[in-house]
Amino acid sequence: MKPTSELYNKSFRILFFDEMWEYEKTISELNEKLKTEKNSNAYNNLGVAHFEIGQLEKGIENLNLAIEFDKRNSIAYSNRAELNKKWNKNQDAENDYGKAIELNPKDATFWRCRAYLRKENGELEKALSDFKQAMKLEPKFQPTKNEIAELEKELGIEPKSWIKKLIGK
């Protein structure tokens, strides 16, 4: 379990706790700390904790507060996008992923997440573009290479020789 000080000072995308009590303890400790000092990272992690135990409304409330306290918290935008996706608020998710990318364009995860959303929404060309951007940032990440190959095939685009070499075909 991460110490409360770490959860208060850094935003996380996911918490990876094994037990419900770990989430409950984290929620309790962050709520207690937030009584004396408001903090974007703490609100982000509180939102993630609520999200991971299925309390989506509390999750979105806290992610909104994280963004309100720090409009440059790209991870909070990305996490809120994930929640919006769960609620089928795809345009809101698209907007939040876009804001995360605008704030931190060198994070391949943001590009990939938006690409998956666009792919699910049938926006295959836009998805392909985002996957290609993610690949530029993390050229060895095989799942991205696979997505590019799949989308190019679906769109009838002949993969360039360098892509064939990258994906091992």
Each residue's pLDDT tens digit, 79-105: 999 999 999 999 999 999 999 999 999
Confidence of residue 140 (pLDDT cuts 50, 70, 90): very high
Answer yes or no: do 83 and 11 share one domain. yes
In a domain, 74, yes or no: yes
Answer yes or no: do 127 and 98 share one domain. no
Answer yes or no: do 38 and 92 share one domain. yes
CA–CA separation, 20 vs 22, rounded Å? 5
pTM, two decimal places: 0.88
Answer yes or no: do 13 and 74 share one domain. yes
Phi and psi for 94 in degrees, rounded to 5?
Answer: -60, -45
The percentage of residues in the chain with a pLDDT greater than 90, rounded to a whole number, is 80
- The answer to whether 86 touches 108, Cβ cutoff 8 Å, is no
Residue 10 has pLDDT above 90, yes or no: no
Over residues 141-169, the mean pLDDT reads 81
Domain termination residue (choose one: 49, 80, 104): 104
- What is the average pLDDT score of the chain? 91
- Say how many Å lie between the first and final Cα of the chain, rounded: 42
CA–CA separation, 136 vs 132, rounded Å? 6
Amino acid 4: pLDDT: 60
- For 32-76, the pLDDT digits (tens) are 999 998 999 999 999 999 999 999 999 999 999 999 999 999 999
- The answer to whether 18 touches 53, Cβ cutoff 8 Å, is no
Distance of CA 115 to CAs 30, 76, 155, Å? 32, 18, 15
